[in-house]
Structure formats: structure tokens, C-alpha cells
Structure 1
Amino acid sequence: MTRPDPARITAVVGNPRIGSRTLGAAASLAGTLAAHLDATEPTLVDLATLASALHVRPRSTDLDAALAAAAGADVLVVATPVHKASFTGLLKSFLDLYGLDGLAGVTAVPLVVSASAAHALVGEVHLRPVLVELGATVPTRTLSVLDADLVDLGPVVDRWWQRAERPLRRAVGASSRVEGLLEVAR
């Protein structure tokens, strides 16, 4: 089934440094996904620019826009560097702002950047369960990237895409069919 509209891709980056290498990796992955899935230009959310707004009430319009962009995405890249053998507290604080099923209908792709191959499972063990708890579908393995790979990320993303393409296309297509059925029911 062909999508009625181009897929919407958003990348949320939980690195506490503005303009980080993790942001660059997320932008690269989101761009690759957009090209493969015939999507619109990806939306990038650098949480480092919103860090001071995460625990302030009322929420800022920028933070609300970031939350809406992530929840409204067809494909959500959730990127983090490894921090103390897990994902960052900044990313956790952002994700904690969603209620139950706040990411329902979203297909999530975890992206983890680390200095050591020993942290290859951080996305699977720590990040995936949180995304699933929020209602997201996570049909692929985490894309784990070593710092050394950031010099030329293309081959790493290409290898990951070879395994991820089929489940990702299925998940995005299924999401599109559900949205179409909901529109008909309205």
C-alpha cells in the first residue's frame, strides 16, 4: 500500500551539548531514512537547546513543539550518547513528559553513540523498554555507532539499513493503514 502522504521523520537528540556529534549522527540517519522512505525533510530536535525548559511550568512553546513533533512523527529517531552505561538524563527528562501511550502510533529507531563496543546494548536494554512503555513501536535493532564511526557514518548506516529496511517499512506501512482506517471511521 502506498502512503497517502509523505512520511514525517523527527530526530530527538539527548546529548547535553548543543550541536553535538550525536546530533550530526541523528541528522545523517534521519536524512537517510527520509530518502529511503520518500519522506519530508526531517525535523531535528536538539534537547540541549531545551534543557532549561524541561522542568519549568508552564511549558515553553518550543518544548511543546518538540513534544508534538516527536509524538506526531511516523518515524522517530531517538539519539543519545552513552552516559554512565545508559542513555542520558536529558533524554529521560524529555520522555518523562509524555503520558501513557504518548508515543502511540510512532515507529521509533533508537540510535546510540558510544566510545566502546561494550556499550552496544544500551539501546536495547535501556532505551527500547522506555519507548515501548510510551506506546512506540520499535521494529528494528538499535543503531549503535562508535565514536570512531562518526568520521564516515555512511557505511555503518547502510549496513544497519540492510537489516532494518523490511521491518521498518512494514511498521511504517502498518501505521499508515491504521491512520487511514481512523480517517474513514471519523
Structure 2
Amino acid sequence: MRTAVVAGNPKPASRTLDAATRLATELGGGPPDRVLDVITLGAGLLGWGDEAVSDAVRSVAATDLVVVASPTFKATYSGVLKLFLDQFETGEGLRDVVAVPLMLGAGPAHALAPDLLLKPVLVELGAITPAPGLYLRDGGYATDGSIGEYVGRWGGVLKGAAGA
């Protein structure tokens, strides 16, 4: 199973990237094949035709399972992630890719954001989303067991859908 991480945080090497990499590692049984810290694509995200952005889009579209992660900004996903997702063709860009929406936040107020806000855009791009999204508290995700619990509950469904 080919796995990828897409982390759309305006801060490079963020907790969002770390949490998504941890989740993808547990789901895939090893490090993800592709880890994309979207902010590193820079100004190429602001238009179409940038080669580095196009390569990133192709590499994500060629995976079986992708964890798409964002911090919670103004109760939704980040603009940086939106700029990257806009590069995918509607309905086809993530066709046959199993996607896991992941969002981090400071408190429980936005716990439904991955399912209400991020999952619909992934589905619009053609992704398969057979499990609920995951919302993590950014202050405790590394030690609170939430990632392991999620993988224990939904890992089989996700791997099955990805054809693993």
C-alpha cells in the first residue's frame, strides 16, 4: 500500500505534519512513501503550471491512501491547504485514493470540522472517504492515544478500501 501525507500548515515542520505522519505510519505499518509539507511549495501554489506543484499533485494522486491534514483556522482548514487542493481536477484528481481528513485544534469546539469541512472537498476531488475524519488536540495528540484508538477502530476499513 502506497501512503502519503499532505500537511497544509503555514508553518513548516509543524505539529500538523507530525500528527499526520504519525497517523499515516500507523495506518501503513511504516513510514509514508510521500510526505508533503505544502508550505514548502511556496508561490507556485498561487497559480497553475508550476512544475514542483504539478509533481506533488501527481505523486499524491498515485497513492492508495493519503492523510490530508490541516490546523483549524477560523473553524475550517487552512488557506494553504485549499491552494494545494485547488490544483487537483474536480471528480478525478484523487480518484481511487482513500483519504483520511485530519485536523488539529486547541480544544473540542471544532471536533466535527474534519467531517463537515475537509471531507466534502476530498470527496469532490474523487477521493474515497470510508471512515470519519480525525480531530486531534494539538497539545496532546502525541501522548493521549487518540491516533492508536483511531487506527484500532478504522484502520481495517481504511486499508480494506485502499486494497491493502
What TM bracket, shorter-length normalisation? over 0.9
Question: In structure 1, which of residues 9, 12, 34 is the aligned counterpart of residue 6 of structure 2?
Answer: 12
Encode CA deviations 1:124-166: one digit per residue, 9 max, x unaligned: 000000000111000111111002223426x111111122023
1:57 to partner: Cα distance: 4.9
Looking at secondary structure, tell me which structure has more helix per residue: 1
1:40 to partner: Cα distance: 6.8
Pair 1:162 & 2:152 matched: yes
Pair 1:76 & 2:66 matched: yes
Using structure 1 for the length normalisation, give the TM-score.
Answer: 0.82
CA contact (8 A) 1:124 1:141 kept: yes
Q: 1: distance between equivalents of 2:160 and 2:141?
A: 28
Determine the structure 1 residue equivalent to 2:25.
31
Correspondences of 1:4-153 after superposition (within 5 Å): 7-35=1-29, 41-60=32-51, 62-100=52-90, 101-152=92-143
1:76 to partner: Cα distance: 0.6
Gaps of 5+ in 1: 1-6, 177-186
SS at match of 1:140: coil
What percent of counterpart residues are identical? 37
Higher RCO, 1 or 2 (CA under 8 Å, sep at least 6)?
2
1:106 to partner: Cα distance: 0.3
Encode CA deviations 1:70-102: one digit per residue, 9 max, x unaligned: 111100100000000000111111111111221
Gaps of 5+ in 2: none
SS at match of 1:17: coil
Cα 1:148–1:41 change in 2 (3 A) is closer
1:169 to partner: Cα distance: 2.5
CA contact (8 A) 1:139 1:168 kept: yes
Cα 1:115–1:40 change in 2 (3 A) is closer
Q: 2: distance between equivalents of 1:57 and 1:139?
A: 30
Cα 1:130–1:162 change in 2 (3 A) is same
